[in-house]
Amino acid sequence: MRNRNAQLVSAAKTALAHAHAPYSRFPVGAAILTRSGAVYTGCNVESSSYGLTICAERTAIFKAISEGEREFEAIAIIAQTAERTPPCGACRQVLMDLAGNIDVILAGGRAQPTVLKLNELLPRAFGNKNLVKAKRRS
């Protein structure tokens, strides 16, 4: 597990170098591990309109899904900060919808990476189960 996490953090760090963050100046890298053992990386890519920006976590999972992956084990996230950086709310929701309650490895700074389950970052997540209940009421 520790070796897996270190490899994911290393891949996320490599992706971080490709970030395009001229507006926020907050580059982020991510690497997601599929159940098949493949690793897909992503970085944030910003647009001047901000709303069209995509985060590193979503880049990584969208790349994986576009290549046919549907089952995930873990994602590592790293930023150039002293503190570990968790995924934003939009990324938490997308990850929960598409990957489920995977391990989230938060890296950065000099401290050891922290591993949390996604449901610790997004408790009581909205999802398909909520949509099914809403459909039954109508």
Q: Is residue 57 annotated as a catalytic residue, yes or no?
A: yes
| Of 57, 69, 73, 120, catalytic | 57
Q: Cα separation of 128 and 39, whole Å?
A: 26
DSSP result, 7-23: HHHHHHHHHHTT-B-TT
DSSP result, 96-126: HHHH-S-EEEEE-SSSPPEEEEHHHHSTT--
Strand 72-79's sheet: what is its strand order? 39-43, 28-34, 72-79, 103-107, 114-117
Which residues are part of the catalytic machinery? 57
